[in-house]
Structure 1
Amino acid sequence: MTDSAQEPQSRRVDARGAVDLSGFAAAPGASAPAGQAPSAPAAQRPSAPAAAGAPNSWAIAVQPQQLQQVVELSAQAPVIVLIHGADAASATMKSTLEDLVDAQQGRLLLAEIDASAHPELAQSADQVPVATAFIGGRPVGEFDAAVPADQLSQLVTQMVQMATQNGMTQKLPAQSTRVVEGQGPAAEPELPPLHQEALDALENSDYAAAAKAYEQAIKEKPDDEDAKIGLAQVGLLQRTTGADLAAARQAAAENPDDVGAQIAVADLDVLGGHVEDGFSRLVRFIQTHFGDDRETARAHLVELYSITGDTDPRVSASRKQLARALF
Structure 2
Amino acid sequence: MQPRNMSMSGVVDLAAVKAAGEAKAKAEQARAQRRQAGPGEAPAAPLVIEVTEATFEADVLQRSSEVPVVISFWTDQIEQSRQLNTVLERLAAQYRGRFVLATADVYANQLLFQQFGVQGVPAVFAVLAGQAMPLFQGAAPEDQITEVLDQVIAVAEQRFGIVGQETGPQDAAEPEPAPRPATPQELALSAAHDALDAGDLSGAIQAYKNVLADEPANVEAKLGLAQAELLARVEGADPQKVRAAAAEAPGDVSAQLAAADLDLVGGHVEDAFSRLVDTVKRTVGEDRDRARLRLLDLFEVIGPDDPRVAAARTALARVLF
> Which category of TM-score, normalised to the shorter sequence, fits these structures?
0.5 to 0.7
Q: What amino acid sits opposite 1:239 in the alignment? A: R
Q: Helix, strand or coil for the counterpart of 1:311? A: coil
2:129 aligns with 174
Q: Helix, strand or coil for the counterpart of 1:164? A: coil
1:318 aligns with 312
Could you say which structure has the larger radius of gyration? 2
Q: Helix, strand or coil for the counterpart of 1:289? A: coil
- Correspondences of 1:83-94 after superposition (within 5 Å): 94=57
Shift of 1:156: 6.5
Q: Which of 191, 197, 200 is the aligned partner of 1:203?
A: 197
Structure 1 residue runs of 5 or longer lacking an equivalent are 1-37, 56-79, 83-91, 108-148
- Correspondences of 1:255-294 after superposition (within 5 Å): 255-294=249-288
1:159 aligns with 113
Contact between 1:279 and 1:318, CA under 8 Å: does it hold in 2?
A: yes
CA RMSD of aligned residues (A): 4.5
Aligned pairs, number:
214
Q: How far apart in 2 are the matches of 1:321 and 1:98? A: 34
Structure 2 residue runs of 5 or longer lacking an equivalent are 1-9, 29-51, 74-102, 131-159
Using a 3 Å threshold, how does the CA distance of structure 1 residues 154 and 291 change in structure 2: closer, same or farther? same
Contact between 1:263 and 1:282, CA under 8 Å: does it hold in 2?
A: yes
Shift of 1:311: 0.8
Contact between 2:246 and 2:259, CA under 8 Å: does it hold in 1?
A: yes
- Correspondences of 1:54-65 after superposition (within 5 Å): 54=27
Shift of 1:152: 8.1
Shift of 1:160: 6.2
Instruction: Report percent identity of matched pairs.
Output: 37
Higher helix share: 2
Shift of 1:104: 3.8
2:149 aligns with none
Contact between 1:214 and 1:227, CA under 8 Å: does it hold in 2?
A: yes
Q: What amino acid sits opposite 1:196 in the alignment? A: S
Q: Which of 237, 247, 257 is the aligned partner of 1:253?
A: 247
Is 1:51 aligned to 2:24, yes or no? yes
Instruction: Tell which has more relative contact order, 1 or 2 (C-alpha 8 A, sep 6+).
Output: 1
- Correspondences of 1:1-327 after superposition (within 5 Å): 41=13, 44-49=16-21, 50-51=23-24, 54=27, 94-96=57-59, 98=61, 103-104=69-70, 154-155=108-109, 159=113, 163-165=117-119, 174-175=129-130, 190=182, 192-327=186-321
Q: Deviations over 1:253-296 (max 9, x none)?
A: 12222211101111111111100000000001111111110011
Contact between 2:242 and 2:255, CA under 8 Å: does it hold in 1?
A: yes
Q: How far apart in 2 are the matches of 1:98 and 1:326? A: 41
Contact between 2:63 and 2:69, CA under 8 Å: does it hold in 1?
A: yes
Shift of 1:53: 11
Contact between 1:217 and 1:227, CA under 8 Å: does it hold in 2?
A: yes
Q: Helix, strand or coil for the counterpart of 1:192? A: helix
Using a 3 Å threshold, how does the CA distance of structure 1 residues 162 and 264 change in structure 2: closer, same or farther? closer
Shift of 1:233: 1.0
Shift of 1:211: 0.8
